[in-house]
């Protein structure tokens, strides 16, 4: 072979960095209503193109168009809007509480509220989510008490998790919300196992797995796809592509694949890509995948195209690695504003009602916060006991833990 | 050699033992799975080659045929996926009992075991639990080289939230495995593969004995449990206490017989929770202690045992606790018998320790 | 939602089991010469279909046809035939040696000889393979001494690996053959790292990763694809689909994906599927992928469709899990016979020369075996020393290993 | 408190220390990487968020800008892939020094570390080697909860073929990290994150001191190494020996000062290979020993230290070796300071042990 030029090492780079102009010209966005809606029993190989497109329902004027328009009543949409607004207000208050030293850590959802709020509505009451730390909408849209969430965040005496977990790592079996792990991706495959169990027991319950764009690089993502594909597990595999993984842009995890939805293709798993900032589209796609699972047609992979408008967490400052105003240039807009506009365009909502609702929600959240803070915050007031360190390691306290507990005299 | 049965603990009633079938360790494990699957629909069994074929060591043979593919099936070669899905199943309410083909291949599942199975009850404050059993063959002595010989028990005992069990004979294997499956928490069930087909005392150059000739191969057909967390004294003695588990119990008994040292041999059976009471009582009596295992020395479970013995029996000890273990190297293929801590190495230690004062 | 029928659990099953009739009707096999040959700089998205086809060169009559006919001289083809025959003879002798108790373990290549033998010829001398235990053809076709291989298998005093490794876990840097691990899949991602290093150093060397069909389920397979895709590593990712993983048929690992090559699609990695029992096709496809890598065009995934005609290893008996004569029904035939027929059809070979060569090779292998056995076999004769247990754990013997070595007085 | 420098070992010459810059632990680690990358083109640095951003703890800040994206880059979130590719690079001949974002996230890489990095030299009889450094922040005390607080050192010390290093101050961090990068074998480099920005003695309720005020923040700008395998005595004493590493060295010094017990404080620095000589000499002198670490007790590295001390100093011991460690539970979030083995828990142990006879 003739001696070619030497190899060189390729490292993907984002379109722009701090100081540069935000640039989303690489994100190609189909028109709302333009992507077809196949029947749920379609063969995966017939919809490979959907992994490279984006299903959208709301157009620029806020009208819902095309085959994916879901059958949601205006009341249901208003409820959805309220869920998203509640989540955003909740985030703002908890972010502030962290800054005030009332807890150690917080993670916001800003810009991604539609994904978890809409999905929860599409899911049945007995189904189970295996969420990451950025899906609190699954709780809020399912009426989990805000106070309980806050008590968890404050690690106070009413914390359902007894102070053991980092803030936002909620757990509620009753609300179909699996205990969040701090380890990325590990639960993606557990969701598949849960779904397999439901099928083994000939039940009707399905599971929903959740993962971020960056975390798809983890091995457990692969294991989940292998097992879901092989056993046709009744599971919806959700990838939330919010463009960033802490400081790392999505191109590092995605490599040359074009999209994250494409990852499903190699497994014969139908893969859809959806505008994650479009509440209606998100709901419709979720519904489609959930129905597939429920009808025993197997797993579906969904990539939600969205944008992490805030910092990764309270420990992070994105201005160090991306242009300051990048989020404003994000071409899919803000999910709250888009649904609001839709409802206004449909005559079911108004600026006043919106403002009024904002105020109402703020009052509700503040009231919850007061209630929660009465049970203590991380560094003051009521606390879980030191005894709780030793409980629940096992169902029963073994002798060595009894000895250790005695050592600190609790 | 004293009667094994005499001092063995189990919940099977006396009468059951009459005319009991003889089982190898493999048969006993299979019987435990069978009994558990028959009693409880929630018990599912899977792993690599575990379904149609019945496992490379045949521990699951016939179970798919008996209970159907939904209860016993082949898994893709992904230890991570096997344990990860099993955790999801356990959280659902099933009782998965999965097989990893060799303990040497548990590492891809280690994250799921440590970060997930072990901590689920704790981090959810009991909202979700993980009643899961992970079986895996351990130990060397079959010329399996460095990837079919490992004894990673210390990597489990360091992890809060796990229980770790190592049976040394068919009777215990069945009783402990049923207890593990019925336990509400994740249990690591380590099966010394050198014992699968016969009690092995480390004399690799002698013909293998069959389990049928061993008292502890008398195994009831039905349901019984051997409680987790209880050690058993296999031989009473006055001169020194030997702490052993799995294959090493047989090595210990052989070395004791050969040296004539009047050692007390304790079969730990469960490493965590540990039966410290039995250990401490024995060492308080003998004043000397040898810890025996096949795993590498440094940070092996023997380190923990040694630390505990000197903490709890310091004023009784007449000599330092000795550790007789595998070397701090990978398990070599050809030099397997130079690596294995067999009866001659233990015998030397026994002679040494009783002379120390 | 209306209540559907309960879920049920799906477990893939092979077409037939012991006692049944072998059935390969599910394996669809395109005609030799029918698959197009794109240029090496083709965009991955333009050749997605190749992941679902099979590139074949040799037709039923043994003629080489179509765009993938490689530029191999008849001498080179004869050499290739000799390599495969040598590997087969070597296997037979070592299998027998194991049965005679001269070693503990052996693994055969029967039916898969073309894959590693042809690949090695396509590769450059400075490139590096990260093989599994079923690619000894990479050594034989690169003139690694048979005696050294045997000494490794016998763990004798001339074993280059000092008795430490299970038989067939060879290692030879000089021959571009990375030390084999007993752990499946772990080396697939190491190959990617090696290739990344070559690119970082602006060298010309490329890497070849090897994995079996069953092992693609392992996590490291995913990590390899992620890193290869992201950094466009100069690596050829080889999946040898020999239909079985011990007792488990390929459907368990493959799930609903149709093929293993398809796994590449989700990463934007060009994926080819080739008749692994066709020496010419295998060589041609390998060459294509190697050229891509060398030209810095990034990774290629190749699935070799072949059949494990023998047992998994000397510890295995396939009659327990597949029809006894399944291998005879395998539609892609025997790689040795097919290349032999081709050479005969081309007038470059004859039945007599073949027989004569067989005898010659047998004599060579037996001579090597005698030589090797003079250095000892596992249980008799020359042995590596017990000292060797303690060497090479670290570059220098640390104090604790010195103490331990003293304990056994070596 | 005695002079730290007086008894600290390093190869930097005396004159270099004149007017030396003060560095935090983070700066010292960054400087070690910088010096190593400048001296040797084969050193490459990567990991999650390690490239453009410079790492979530900023240890690699500026390196991509200085050495280019080929030498310092962001990796996908795959610890398995990071270590797996690094092994391939090391086998190629590079000197990768990779970062895992938290030690709690090393488990997905554990198979690659244990089965591959640790055994490559051995199984290939030196044909291939793996000069690789894996850096990871360890330990708690930052309200990180169970997945940002772990100390998994014992999971590495049990694995033959690995070296394990834990620095306790900027000076050692730099010298040990350079030594690790230059070492021909894989080194696990554990960075106690609670020390990154200041020496932390366990008094979480007091204002944090800055490294600038600590003698061992005087770090030469250039190249020097601190040899692996050598402990250092941080405080000489007669009454009892405290074995500690990382954050716990500072806890030990604080407890000693507060209790007035004349303890000898040994900073192990390298856990494997271990400087047993220094340990044994000290315990032979003091006759008492406390082992201190943040990791869970059972099968922690303290078990090995305890076992070794009683093996090698049995006849000198006047009291059982005591272990003061984290509890055998996951690391809790809110109850962090009840979990952390701080100066008061150690102080109690010190008072107890000197009274034992
Ligand atoms: C196994 C593991 N590795 C690393 C981390 C540290 N970490 C926490 S969040 C995060 C980024 C995740 O990004 P992505 O998956 O895109 O989710 P997002 O935060 O954008 O929702 C990282 C690297 C972790 N928690 N677990
Ligand atoms: C991590 C790991 N898990 C399990 C095994 C046991 N094992 C050895 S070979 C094998 C089957 C591999 O099948 P495949 O990848 O198709 O390769 P083939 O043997 O067919 O060439 C298994 C399960 C192993 N060696 N490593
Ligand atoms: Mg993200
Ligand atoms: Mg195979």
DSSP string, D13-70: -GGGGTTPPB--HHHHHHHHHHHHHHH-TTEEEEETT-SSS--TT-TTTTHHHHH-TT
CA D174/CA A207 separation, integer angstroms: 48
CA C352/CA B295 separation, integer angstroms: 57
pLDDT in tens, D143-189: 999 999 999 999 999 999 999 999 999 999 999 999 999 999 999 99
> How far from the centroid of its chain's Cα atoms is residue A339's Cα?
18
pLDDT in tens, A155-172: 999 999 999 999 999 999
Q: Cis (ω within 30 of 0) for the bond into D273?
A: yes
Residue A302 sits at φ, ψ, to 5 deg, of: -120, 130
- Which residue, by CA, sits nearest to atom 17 of ligand 1? A212
Assign A150 a pLDDT band (cuts: 50, 70, 90): very high
Taking CB atoms and an 8 Å limit, are D125 and C195 in contact across chains? Answer: no
pTM, to two decimals: 0.97
Q: Is C74 in the pocket of ligand 2 (CB under 6 A)?
A: no
Q: How many other CB atoms sit within 10 Å of the CB of residue A143?
A: 10
CA A350/CA A341 separation, integer angstroms: 9
Give contacts of C269 with chain A, Cβ < 8 Å. 256
> What is the best residue among B74, B98, B101, B136 to mutate for testing ligand 2's pocket, by most ligand atoms within 8 Å of CB?
B101
Average pLDDT over residues C67-72: 98
Residue D208, burial from CB neighbour count under 10 angstroms (0-12, 13-18, 19+) = exposed
Q: Is C64 in the pocket of ligand 2 (CB under 6 A)?
A: no
- Is residue A98 within 8 A of residue A314, CB to CB? The reply is yes
Cβ within 8 Å of residue A270, ≥6 positions away:
A42, A44, A47, A50, A264, A292, A300, A301
Cβ within 8 Å of residue C353, ≥6 positions away:
none
CA D29/CA D170 separation, integer angstroms: 7
Taking CB atoms and an 8 Å limit, are A226 and B128 in contact across chains? Answer: no
Task: Please give the angle made by the CA atoms of B143, B148 and B154, to the nearest 5 degrees.
Answer: 120
Tell me: pLDDT of A400 over 80: yes
Taking CB atoms and an 8 Å limit, are B334 and C163 in contact across chains? Answer: yes
Q: Which residues of B222-237 are buried (b: 16+ CB within 10 A; e: fewer)?
A: ebbbbebbbbbbbbeb
Q: Name which of C53, C140, C127, C37 is nearest C88 in CA terms.
A: C140
Q: Name which of C371, C304, C312 is nearest C332 in CA terms.
A: C304
C-alpha C189 – ligand 2 centre gap (Å): 16
Q: Is C216 in the pocket of ligand 2 (CB under 6 A)?
A: no
Q: Touching check for B124 and chain D: CB below 8 Å? A: no
Tell me: pLDDT of A187 over 60: yes
Q: Which residues of D231-253 are buried (b: 16+ CB within 10 A; e: fewer)?
A: bbbbbebebbbbbbbbbbbbbbb
Q: Touching check for D102 and chain B: CB below 8 Å? A: no
CA A379/CA D337 separation, integer angstroms: 12
Q: What is the pLDDT of residue A409?
A: 87
- pLDDT higher for A190 or D17? A190
CA C388/CA B334 separation, integer angstroms: 10
Cα diameter, chain B: 62
Give contacts of D129 with chain C, Cβ < 8 Å. 395
pLDDT in tens, C106-128: 999 999 999 999 999 999 999 99
How close, in Å, is residue B93 to chain A by CA atoms? 8
- Is residue C335 within 8 A of residue C111, CB to CB? The reply is yes
Residue A24, burial from CB neighbour count under 10 angstroms (0-12, 13-18, 19+) = middle
Per the listing, tokens 């398809």 go with C262
Taking CB atoms and an 8 Å limit, are B78 and A227 in contact across chains? Answer: yes
Per the listing, tokens 């013995």 go with B309
Ramachandran area for residue B295 (φ above 0: left; ψ -120 to 50: alpha; else beta): beta
Lowest pLDDT segment from A40-44, C347-351, C406-410, D217-221: C406-410
CA B191/CA B80 separation, integer angstroms: 20
Return the CA Rg of chain A: 22
Give the residues of chain D that fall short of pLDDT 70.
1-19
- Ligand closest in space to the Cα of A216: 1
- Ligand closest in space to the Cα of A211: 1
- The dihedral over CA atoms of A391, A394, A400, A402, expressed in degrees to the nearest 10, equals 30
Taking CB atoms and an 8 Å limit, are B145 and C165 in contact across chains? Answer: yes
Average pLDDT over residues C303-312: 98
- List all chains that touch chain D, counting a touch as 3 or more CB pairs closer than 8 Å: A, B, C
Give contacts of B44 with chain A, Cβ < 8 Å. 197, 200
Residue from D48, D296, D335 to probe the interface with A (highest A Cβ count within 10 Å): D335
Which of ligand 2's atoms lies nearest the C-alpha of C215? 15
Cβ within 8 Å of residue B159, ≥6 positions away:
B113, B114, B118, D296
- Which residue, by CA, sits nearest to atom 15 of ligand 2? C212
Token reading at B188 = 């690591």
- Segment holding D219, helix H or strand E: none
Which residues make beta-bridge pairs with A241?
A: A305
Average pLDDT over residues C284-311: 98
- Is residue A123 within 8 A of residue A287, CB to CB? The reply is no
Average pLDDT over residues A50-54: 98
Taking CB atoms and an 8 Å limit, are C298 and A263 in contact across chains? Answer: no
Q: Identify which of D78, D147, D328 has the shortest CB distance to residue A218.
A: D78
Residue of chain D nearest B153, judged by CA positions: D299
- Is residue B346 within 8 A of residue B324, CB to CB? The reply is yes
Q: What is the pLDDT of residue A394?
A: 98
Q: Name which of D130, D217, D136, D128 is nearest D177 in CA terms.
A: D136
C-alpha C316 – ligand 4 centre gap (Å): 13
Which residues make beta-bridge pairs with B326?
A: B296
SS3 track for chain C: CCCCCCCCCCCCCCCCCCCCCCCCCCCCCCCCCCCCCCCCCCCHHHHHHHHHCCECCECCCCCECCCCCCCCCHHHHHHHHHHHHHHHHHHHHHHHHHHCCCCCCCCCCCCCHHHHHHHHHHCCCCCEEECCCCCCHHHHCCCCCHHHHHHHHHCCCCCCCCCCCCCCCCCEHHHCECCCCCCCCHHHHHHHHHHHHHHHCCCCCCEEEEEECHHHHCHHHHHHHHHHHHHCCCEEEEEEECCEECCEEHHHHHHHHCCCHHHHHHHCCCEEEEECCCHHHHHHHHHHHHHHHHCCCCCEEEEEECCCCCCCCCCCCHHHCCCCCHHHHCCCCCHHHHHHHHHHHCCCCCHHHHHHHHHHHHHHHHHHHHHHHHCCECCECCCCCHHHHCCCCCCCCCHHHHHHHHHCCC
Sign of the C-alpha dihedral computed for residues C371, C372, C374 and C375 taken in this order = positive
Q: Name which of C310, C380, C318 is nearest C103 in CA terms.
A: C380
- pLDDT higher for B8 or A267? A267
- The dihedral over CA atoms of C54, C15, B81, A244, expressed in degrees to the nearest 10, equals 40
D158 assigned to active site: no
CA D165/CA D173 separation, integer angstroms: 9
Per the listing, tokens 């000892």 go with C376
CA D92/CA D44 separation, integer angstroms: 12
Per the listing, tokens 């001949």 go with D93
Task: Please give the angle made by the CA atoms of B217, B219 and B220, to the nearest 5 degrees.
Answer: 165
CA B108/CA D114 separation, integer angstroms: 11
Sign of the C-alpha dihedral computed for residues A18, A20, A25 and A31 taken in this order = positive
What Cα–Cα distance (Å) separates residue A140 from each residue in A260, A274, A373, C258?
A: 27, 22, 19, 40
Q: What is the pLDDT of residue C3?
A: 61
Q: What is the pLDDT of residue B2?
A: 37
CA C214/CA C260 separation, integer angstroms: 10
CA C272/CA C287 separation, integer angstroms: 12
Q: Is C187 in the pocket of ligand 2 (CB under 6 A)?
A: no
Taking CB atoms and an 8 Å limit, are D91 and C190 in contact across chains? Answer: yes
Give the residues of chain B that fall short of pLDDT 70.
1-19
- Is residue D28 within 8 A of residue D173, CB to CB? The reply is yes
Q: Touching check for B10 and chain D: CB below 8 Å? A: no
> What is the best residue among D49, D77, D99, D137 to mutate for testing ligand 1's pocket, by most ligand atoms within 8 Å of CB?
D77
Alpha helices in A201-300 (DSSP H): 219-231, 250-254, 279-294
Cβ within 8 Å of residue C73, ≥6 positions away:
none
Give contacts of A258 with chain C, Cβ < 8 Å. 45, 268
């Amino acid at each position: 072979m003739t001696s070619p030029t030497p190899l060189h090492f390729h490292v993907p780079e984002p379109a722009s960095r701090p100081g540069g102009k935000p640039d989303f010209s690489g994100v190609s966005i189909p028109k709302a209503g333009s992507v077809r809606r196949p029947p749920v029993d379609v063969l995966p190989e017939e919809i490979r193109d959907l992994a490279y497109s984006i299903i959208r329902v709301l157009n620029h004027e806020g009208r819902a168009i095309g085959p994916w328009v879901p059958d949601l009543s205006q009341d249901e949409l208003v409820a959805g809007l309220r869920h998203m607004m509640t989540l955003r207000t909740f985030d703002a208050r908890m972010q502030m509480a962290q800054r005030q030293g009332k807890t150690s850590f917080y993670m916001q959802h800003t810009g991604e509220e539609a994904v978890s709020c809409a999905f929860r509505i599409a899911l049945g009451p007995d189904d189970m989510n295996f969420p990451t730390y950025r899906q609190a909408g699954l709780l809020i849209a399912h009426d989990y008490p805000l106070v309980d969430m806050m008590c968890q965040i404050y690690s106070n005496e009413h914390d359902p998790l007894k102070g053991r977990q980092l803030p936002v790592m909620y757990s509620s079996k009753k609300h179909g919300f699996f205990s969040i792990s701090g380890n990325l991706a590990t639960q993606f495959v557990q969701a598949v196992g849960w779904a397999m169990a439901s099928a083994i027991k000939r039940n009707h319950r399905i599971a929903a797995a959740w993962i971020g764009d960056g975390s798809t690089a983890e091995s457990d993502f692969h294991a989940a796809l292998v097992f879901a594909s092989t056993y046709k597990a009744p599971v919806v595999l959700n990838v939330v592509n919010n463009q960033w993984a802490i400081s790392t842009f999505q191109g590092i995890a995605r490599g040359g694949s074009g999209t994250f939805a494409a990852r499903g293709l190699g497994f014969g798993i139908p893969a859809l890509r959806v505008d994650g900032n479009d509440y209606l589209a998100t709901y419709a796609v979720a519904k489609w995948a959930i129905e597939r699972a429920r009808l025993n047609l197997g797993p579906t992979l969904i990539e939600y195209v969205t944008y992490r408008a805030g910092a990764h967490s309270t420990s992070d400052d994105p201005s160090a690695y991306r242009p300051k105003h990048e989020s404003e240039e994000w071409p899919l807009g803000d999910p709250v504003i888009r649904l609001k506009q839709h409802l206004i365009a449909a005559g079911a909502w108004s600026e006043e009602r919106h403002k009024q609702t904002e105020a109402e929600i703020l009052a509700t959240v503040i009231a919850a916060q007061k209630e929660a803070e009465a049970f203590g915050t991380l560094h003051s007031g009521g606390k879980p006991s030191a005894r709780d360190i030793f409980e629940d390691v096992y169902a029963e306290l073994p002798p060595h833990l009894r000895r250790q507990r005695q050592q600190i005299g609790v | 050699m004293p009667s094994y049965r005499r001092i063995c603990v189990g919940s099977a009633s006396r009468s059951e033992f009459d005319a009991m079938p003889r089982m190898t360790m493999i048969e006993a494990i299979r019987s435990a799975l069978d009994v558990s699957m028959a009693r409880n629909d929630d018990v599912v069994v899977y792993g690599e080659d575990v379904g149609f074929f019945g496992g490379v060591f045949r521990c699951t043979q016939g179970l798919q045929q008996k209970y159907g593919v939904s209860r016993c099936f082949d898994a893709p070669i992904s230890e991570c996926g096997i344990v990860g899905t099993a955790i999801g199943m356990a959280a659902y309410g099933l009782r998965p009992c999965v097989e990893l083909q060799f303990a040497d291949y548990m590492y891809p599942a280690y994250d799921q075991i440590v970060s997930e199975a072990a901590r689920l009850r704790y981090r959810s404050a009991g909202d979700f639990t993980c009643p899961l059993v992970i079986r895996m063959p351990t130990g060397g002595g079959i010329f399996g080289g460095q990837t079919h010989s490992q004894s990673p028990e210390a990597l489990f005992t360091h992890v809060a939230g796990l229980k770790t069990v190592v049976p040394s004979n068919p009777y215990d294997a069945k009783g402990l495995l049923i207890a593990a499956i019925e336990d509400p928490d994740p249990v690591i069930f380590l099966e010394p593969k050198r014992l699968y087909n016969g009690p092995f005392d480390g004399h690799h150059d002698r013909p293998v004995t069959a389990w049928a000739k061993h008292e502890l191969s008398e195994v009831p057909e039905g349901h019984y449990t051997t409680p987790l967390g209880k050690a058993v004294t296999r031989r009473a003695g006055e001169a020194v206490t030997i702490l052993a588990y799995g294959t090493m119990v047989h090595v210990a008994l052989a070395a004791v017989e050969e040296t004539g040292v009047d050692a007390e041999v304790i079969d730990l059976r469960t490493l965590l929770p540990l039966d410290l009471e039995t250990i401490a009582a024995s060492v308080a009596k003998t004043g000397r202690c040898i810890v025996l295992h096949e795993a590498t020395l440094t940070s092996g479970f023997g380190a923990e045992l040694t630390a505990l013995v000197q903490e709890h029996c310091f004023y009784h000890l007449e000599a330092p606790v000795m550790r007789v273990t595998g070397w701090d190297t990978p398990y070599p293929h050809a030099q397997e018998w130079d690596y294995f801590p067999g009866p001659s190495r233990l015998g030397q230690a026994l002679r040494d320790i009783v002379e120390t004062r």
